[in-house]
Amino acid sequence: MLESKDLTKVFGNKTAVDHVNLKLDAGHIVALLGPNGSGKTTWMKMVTGLIKPSSGSMLFRGEPVGLESRKHIAYMSTEPYFYTWMTVRDVGRYYEDFFEDYSAQKYEALLRKMELDMQMKTKTLSSGMMAKLKIAVTLARNADVYMLDEPFNGIDLLARDEIRASIIEAAGPDKLLILSSHLVEEMETIADQAAFMHSGRLVEKRDLEEMRMTDGVSMTDRYRAIYGHVEG
């Protein structure tokens, strides 16, 4: 469904994504892992077309990402990005105006779960509330690909359970979910595949069940093995 071929992004003298070759298929929840600055966010933004590659290509169903792919890819950035004049209701209306796959009913149901009020102004939301709103409006789309960048950032334990449930609910045989997070143990309970990135490069992509069976290690163990010398 998604394929990056030799994808590279250079900012000035820093290579954020370095010749990444990664193929992801529908029917999976993929954990995109790596320490800060490993290139996860830049890679995701190139999938959405927000960042243009320096070289290489990003394909969605065999075609370069662009206008058409944006209709099918739902992206949640880690930073708040709503217009400051918007209320929670306005955010929903905005998505309704631009995305054919958006469901107002689903949005309302997700907001109820997240205990968010339609009248709330986005500029007055706490970071936790903002994170919930971003997830609610992104998952309110019936997209083919969902990309959630740090979906658990700033969210308390109980709300995290709700979000995890909503993410799993969004998954399906014809859907691809890509999640990046520092909370590796949290991700282990959701994902069935993992892509490990380091210094802009893809270290490896693994099927988690197969990794447990053949190598006898969990995703968390593998994360420690790959990045332990870097972070520890």
Partner 1 sequence: MKNLMKYEFRKTWGTKLIILGLTVFLEVVFLAALFLNKEDITGLSAMLLTLLAIFGIMFVGIQSVITLHRDMNTKQSYMLFMTPNSSYKILGSKMLENGLSLIAAGVFFYALGFLDIVLLLDRYGELDQLWKLFRQIMESFNAELELNARSIAIFLLSMVSSWFCTLSTAYFADIVSTALLNGKRMNGLMSFALFIVLSLVTGWIQRQIPGSVGVTNMLLIEAGISLILSIVMYYFSARLMERSLSV
Binding site for partner 1 (CB under 8 A): 11, 45, 48-52, 67-68, 70-71, 75, 77, 79-85, 94, 97-99
**Shortest approach of partner 1 to residue 52 CB, angstroms?**
5
Quote the least distance from Cβ 53 to partner 1, whole Å: 9
Neighbours of 128 (CB within 10 A): 14
Read off the amino acid at residue 45.
K
Shortest Å, Cβ 216 to partner 1: 41
| DSSP single-letter state for residue 35 | S
State the greatest distance between any 2 C-alpha atoms of the chain, in Å, as a whole number. 53
**Residue closer to partner 1, measured from CB, 88 or 194:** 88
Q: Which two tokens stand for residue 114?
A: 């997240």
Q: Which is nearer to partner 1, 61 or 212 (CB)?
A: 61
Q: Which residue has the tokens 């054919």?
A: 100
Smallest distance from the beta carbon of 145 to partner 1, in angstroms?
12
Q: Tell me whether residue 69 or residue 166 sits nearer to partner 1 (CB atom).
A: 69
Q: Compute the distance between CA of residue 60 and CA of residue 23 in angstroms, rounded to an integer.
A: 10
Q: How far is the CB of 21 from partner 1 (least distance, A)?
A: 21
| CA atoms of 88 and 91, how far apart (whole Å) | 5
Give the dihedral of Cα atoms 104, 105, 110, 111; nearest 10 deg.
70
For 61, residues 6+ apart whose C-beta sits below 8 A from its C-beta are: 1, 69
Residue 97 CA from chain centroid, whole number? 23
CA 26 – CA 225 distance, rounded (Å): 28
Question: Closer to partner 1 at the Cβ: 96 or 162?
Answer: 96
Closest CB to partner 1 among residues 20, 51: 51
Q: In the bound complex, what is the minimum distance in angstroms from residue 151's beta carbon to partner 1?
A: 16
**81 or 127, CB closer to partner 1?**
81
